[in-house]
């Protein structure tokens, strides 16, 4: 192994430099089962409902407790279900901008579904109760979780949290694709 220049050498040691591995005439072939290049590359994210990839998505989990006591749950709504659905929406928004999630992504997700509104319309409460039920169990309810995120269109995700809050107060229906 080559050593840095500052490492002392014995007078009789031979100094080795970096050398590339030997050249191979044959080209590389994807032969392992997990390599997708034989089937045309990565699948389209929308075609398989594979979610919204982005950097540092796990950071959002550390932001959840910051807004937890502001949630206005009604009836049978559970915090774990609400947080799971909001995380899906927030990650979709963060990946839309090509960045890691921030608190404003989560705030917007809660706002458009009316979880920060103590006087949320009963029609919205009934819709979100039905849609969010059980989504915390992603192994069994992944399509329902994706449906929660997919119900928030890109135009809504591009709004600032303040714009979303003012539009939600006026009429919540245009913010969601139900």
Distance between CA atoms of residues 176 and 169, nearest Å: 14
Does this model's pTM top 0.85? My answer is: no
pLDDT along the chain (178 residues), means of 10: 72 73 72 59 55 83 95 93 95 91 96 94 94 89 91 95 94 93
Percentages helix, strand, coil for the chain (3-state, rounded to 5) are: 50, 0, 50
Other residues' Cβ atoms within 10 Å of the Cβ of residue 140: 10
Evaluate whether 148 touches 90 at the Cβ level (below 8 Å).
Answer: no
pLDDT in tens, 41-87: 555 555 555 666 778 899 999 999 999 999 999 989 999 999 999 99
| pLDDT on residue 151 | 95
Sign of CA dihedral 101, 89, 96, 140: positive
Half-sphere exposure of 77 (CA within 13 A, CB side): 22
């Amino acid at each position: 192994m080559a050593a840095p220049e500052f490492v002392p050498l014995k007078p009789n040691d031979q100094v080795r430099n970096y050398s590339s591995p030997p050249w191979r005439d044959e080209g590389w072939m994807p032969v392992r089962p997990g390599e997708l290049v034989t089937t045309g590359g990565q699948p389209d994210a929308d075609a398989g409902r594979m979610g919204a990839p982005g950097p540092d998505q796990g950071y959002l989990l550390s932001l959840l407790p910051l807004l937890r006591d502001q949630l206005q749950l009604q009836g049978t709504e559970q915090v774990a279900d609400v947080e799971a659905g909001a995380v899906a929406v927030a990650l979709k928004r963060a990946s839309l901008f090509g960045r890691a999630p921030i608190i404003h992504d989560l705030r917007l997700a809660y706002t458009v579904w009316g979880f920060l509104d103590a006087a949320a319309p009963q029609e919205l409460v009934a819709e979100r109760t039905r849609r969010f039920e059980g989504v915390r169990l992603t192994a069994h309810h992944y399509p329902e979780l994706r449906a929660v995120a997919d119900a928030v269109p890109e135009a809504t995700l591009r709004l600032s949290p303040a714009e979303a809050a003012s539009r939600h107060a006026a009429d919540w229906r245009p913010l969601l694709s139900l």
